[in-house]
Amino acid sequence: MTPPHDPHDSRGPAGEAPTDEVDLIVAAWRREAPQLDVEPLEVLSRVARLARHLDRLRRGAFSAHDLETWEFDVLAALRRAGAPHELSPGQLLVETLVTSGTMTNRVDRLVTRGLVERRPDPADRRSVRVRLTAAGSDVVDAALADLVEAEHRMLDVLGREERRALATLLRRVSAPFEG
């Protein structure tokens, strides 16, 4: 339970001056709806806003390599699979959290661009495997390098131990939603 908060006080948590937009939002809700404990907004509104900033950062890193976010997701799933960098369409569905119709369309588009190829599944002639091409590997590796560099810059405000602690806390919150 949070300590009592004066609804007319526009200061942030612990009485400090607001330092970001969420502090202003929380202060306004505490003023306008004092009967509600809006403490979750202090965390989850920041997570939501940060997700939007991260999405823009990622789109920028990928567009420098002529990739859409979904293209990077598919190529990255194949790259992470290890040699020979191929997965079944069903495995790609699990990795990217999309429907089978969406995945078929995505693979078709990546085949057209020469970034992946479909190959017969040696274990089941009725099935196919999607394999990363050399061009696909080159582009996903370059995009990943730019992404990681940009994400390091984004986290530069935190020390190594703070990053580890934040990762641990976020894992605890997100784990119940994972498969």
Strands 86-87 and 116-121: unpaired
pLDDT number for residue 8:
41
The 3-state DSSP class for residue 50 equals helix
* Residues ≥6 apart with Cβ < 8 Å to 77: 87, 91, 92, 95, 96
The alpha-helical segments, DSSP class H, found in the chain are 21-32, 39-63, 69-80, 89-96, 100-112, 134-154, 160-174
CATH class of 56-179: mainly alpha
DSSP character string of 126-147: EEEEEEE-HHHHHHHHHHHHHH
User: What residues does 119 pair with on adjacent strands?
Assistant: 129
pLDDT by residue, tens only, the chain of 179 residues: 444 444 444 444 555 655 899 999 999 999 999 999 999 999 999 999 999 999 999 999 999 999 999 999 999 999 999 999 999 988 998 888 888 888 889 999 999 999 999 999 888 888 899 999 999 999 999 999 999 999 999 999 999 999 999 999 999 999 998 86
The 3-state DSSP class for residue 125 equals strand
pLDDT number for residue 4:
47
Rounded to an integer, what is the distance from CA 105 to the centroid of its chain? 22
Q: pTM value?
A: 0.78
pLDDT number for residue 65:
96
pLDDT number for residue 13:
54
pLDDT number for residue 2:
44
pLDDT number for residue 92:
92
What six digits make up the tokens of 133? Answer: 């091409």
Task: Domain ranges for the chain, please list them.
Answer: 56-179
CA distance 53 to 55: 5
Of 115, 41, 120, nearest in space to 73 by CA: 115
DSSP state of 157: T
